[in-house]
């Protein structure tokens, strides 16, 4: 069949993290060990399978017939209420349950918001670097994705203003411990972003899947907390707090906007599984979820500190790394001119240590990117220590002692 794919589908590519993992796996000898720093996944050690099983069983026992039925497109109302309470406990002021809808992970929330706003050729502004699946979601739906630079305290405000002035449908940001940068946007910049959104009528899509995984420094208000005009769409997810397989995320926005998104959700996934929503509702009703999340933070925090310490000890002075306050990733930058794709390929093939090259996260000048993303939560403490030593040795070799 001569398939006539849309232009955007023809150019879509597979993820680089999978490519590096496959290279490492293919070159693995019998006595070799693969240490995966390329992954985008949380650690399986923190998944509370027994806890989840208890609530899945509840769901099946409590009301099996009803829960096997189709549910409301915007989600199971008691869960919408539980999530509203959950985010309000951390500083948000979501007024009504109708201001929150349930999605299949936050990746679906990104897709739905894009579908609601973006026609082919419309501009969407993203940070450089930014979350690769968000970039792809915008591009697949026909957006022209415009990049604005990042600084240590978040997006470059002057560049953002220039981009917004030219007109855009959305500004997408991950203000807490961004994927891949690990950067956190300062409170001043969050306020400035909100004011620019109002000035230029460009809504902010605030993606916060990692915000609760904070290991140091104080919480900074969400951009959504400033919002009195419906300028901010806030999304988050259970993937890093419970497990990715539950595939539950949520979106907070004015009811007026949610009412526009619901018909899109109706024809895309027709609502999220009622069984899983019921199980999560029960779980949120019966437990202090912030206590559960603290258990994850206790594990991840140690891994972050270890990886940073080993990077400081083993990486050449010409190599820099970000110092995230939370989340799952450290962004490592090699000297200008380094071919980062080649470095990551060789690390995968020779060391069996896949790392994700940064190019795919950058919408402007991806070929000039000399950074790569390390996942610091997935591997054990021993493998982090050993793996970073090996990568450090290889860097010295690769950079010829610099």
Least distance CB 207 / ligand PMP (angstroms): 5
Q: Is 75 in the site for ligand PMP (CB under 6 A)?
A: no
Among 82, 173, 239, 375, binds ligand PMP (CB under 6 A): 239
Residue nearest to ligand PMP (CB): 105
Residue 320 CA, distance from chain mean position: 22
Among 174, 253, 280, 395, binds ligand PMP (CB under 6 A): 174
Least distance CB 380 / ligand PMP (angstroms): 21
Angle, in degrees to the nearest 10, between helices 274-286 and 49-67: 130
Place of tokens 């450290």: 330
Helix (H) or strand (E) holding 345: helix 340-346
Phi, psi (5° rounding) for residue 165? Answer: -60, -35
Instruction: Say if residues 103 and 113 touch (Cβ distance below 8 Å).
Output: no
Q: Is 244 in the site for ligand PMP (CB under 6 A)?
A: yes
Phi, psi (5° rounding) for residue 76? Answer: -75, 120
Q: Is 300 in the site for ligand PMP (CB under 6 A)?
A: no
Phi, psi (5° rounding) for residue 326? Answer: -175, -165
Please, which residue, 179 or 359, has the CB nearer to ligand PMP? 179
Considering only residues 28 to 57 of the shown chain, the ones binding ligand PMP according to CB under 6 A are: 40
Least distance CB 174 / ligand PMP (angstroms): 5
Encoded one letter per residue, x for contact with ligand PMP by CB under 6 A and - for no contact, window 353-372 reads: --------------------
**What whole-number distance in Å separates Cα of residue 322 and Cα of residue 300?**
16
Please, which residue, 237 or 347, has the CB nearer to ligand PMP? 237
Place of tokens 């929330």: 109
Query: Can you say whether residue 189 is alpha, beta or left, with left for phi > 0 and alpha for psi between -120 and 50 degrees?
Result: alpha
**What whole-number distance in Å separates Cα of residue 13 and Cα of residue 29?**
29
Rounded-to-10 torsion of CA 13, 15, 20, 25: -100
Please, which residue, 178 or 387, has the CB nearer to ligand PMP? 178
Instruction: Say if residues 179 and 127 touch (Cβ distance below 8 Å).
Output: no
Candidates 104-112, 303-311, 353-361, 366-374; binding stretch for ligand PMP (CB under 6 A): 104-112
Among 105, 129, 182, 357, binds ligand PMP (CB under 6 A): 105
Q: Is 179 in the site for ligand PMP (CB under 6 A)?
A: yes
Candidates 17-25, 154-162, 236-244, 392-400; binding stretch for ligand PMP (CB under 6 A): 236-244
Q: List the helix and strand counts (H, then E) for the chain.
A: 13, 12
Q: Is 19 in the site for ligand PMP (CB under 6 A)?
A: no
Strand partners, 121: none
Least distance CB 108 / ligand PMP (angstroms): 7
Considering only residues 200 to 219 of the shown chain, the ones binding ligand PMP according to CB under 6 A are: 207, 209
Q: Give the closest residue to 103 by CA, choosing from 249, 267, 293.
A: 249
Candidates 48-56, 116-124, 237-245, 315-323; binding stretch for ligand PMP (CB under 6 A): 237-245
Q: Is 106 in the site for ligand PMP (CB under 6 A)?
A: yes
Q: Give the closest residue to 249 by CA, choosing from 110, 106, 107, 134.
A: 106
Which residues, in sequence order, are CB contacts of 34 under 8 Å at separation 6+? 21, 24, 25, 28, 352, 353, 354
Least distance CB 73 / ligand PMP (angstroms): 18
Candidates 102-110, 144-152, 303-311, 317-325; binding stretch for ligand PMP (CB under 6 A): 102-110
Least distance CB 328 / ligand PMP (angstroms): 8
Binding residues (CB under 6 A) for ligand PMP: these are 40, 105-107, 131, 174, 179, 207, 209, 237, 239, 244, 249
């Amino acid at each position: 069949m001569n398939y006539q794919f849309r232009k955007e589908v023809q150019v879509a590519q597979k993820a680089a993290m999978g490519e590096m993992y496959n290279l490492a796996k293919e070159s693995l000898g019998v006595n070799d060990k693969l240490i995966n720093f390329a992954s985008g996944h949380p650690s399986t050690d923190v998944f509370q399978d027994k806890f989840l099983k208890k609530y899945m069983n509840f769901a099946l026992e409590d009301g099996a017939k009803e829960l096997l039925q189709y549910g409301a497109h915007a989600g199971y109302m008691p869960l919408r209420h539980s999530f509203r309470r959950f985010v309000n406990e951390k500083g948000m002021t979501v007024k009504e349950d109708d201001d929150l809808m349930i999605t299949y992970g936050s990746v679906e929330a990104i897709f739905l918001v894009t579908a609601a706003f973006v026609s082919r050729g419309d501009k969407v502004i993203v940070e450089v670097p930014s979350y690769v699946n968000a970039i792809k979601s915008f591009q697949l739906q026909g957006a022209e994705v415009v990049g604005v630079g990042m600084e240590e305290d978040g997006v470059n405000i002057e560049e953002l203003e220039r981009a917004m002035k030219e007109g855009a449908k959305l500004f997408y940001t991950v203000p807490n411990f961004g994927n891949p940068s690990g950067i956190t946007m300062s409170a001043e910049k969050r306020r400035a972003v909100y004011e620019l959104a109002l000035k230029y009528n460009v809504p902010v899509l605030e993606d916060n899947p990692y915000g609760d995984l904070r290991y140091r420094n104080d919480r900074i208000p969400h951009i959504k907390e400033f919002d009195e005009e419906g300028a901010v769409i806030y999304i988050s997810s259970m993937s890093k707090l419970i497990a990715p397989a539950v595939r539950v995320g949520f979106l907070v926005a004015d009811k007026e906007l949610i009412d526009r998104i619901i018909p899109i959700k109706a024809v895309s996934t027709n609502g999220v599984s009622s069984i899983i929503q019921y199980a999560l509702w029960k779980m949120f009703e019966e437990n202090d979820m912030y206590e559960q999340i603290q258990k994850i933070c206790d594990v991840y925090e140690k891994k972050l500190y270890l990886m940073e310490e080993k990077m400081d000890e083993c990486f050449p002075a010409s190599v820099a790394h970000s110092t995230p306050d939370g989340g799952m990733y450290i962004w490592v930058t090699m000297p200008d001119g380094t071919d980062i794709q080649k470095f990551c390929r060789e690390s995968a093939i020779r060391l069996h240590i896949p790392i994700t090259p940064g190019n795919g996260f950058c919408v402007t000048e991806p070929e000039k990117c000399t950074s790569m993303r390390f996942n610091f939560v997935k591997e054990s403490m021993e493998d982090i220590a050993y793996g970073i030593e090996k990568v450090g040795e290889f860097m010295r070799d690769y950079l010829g002692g610099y």
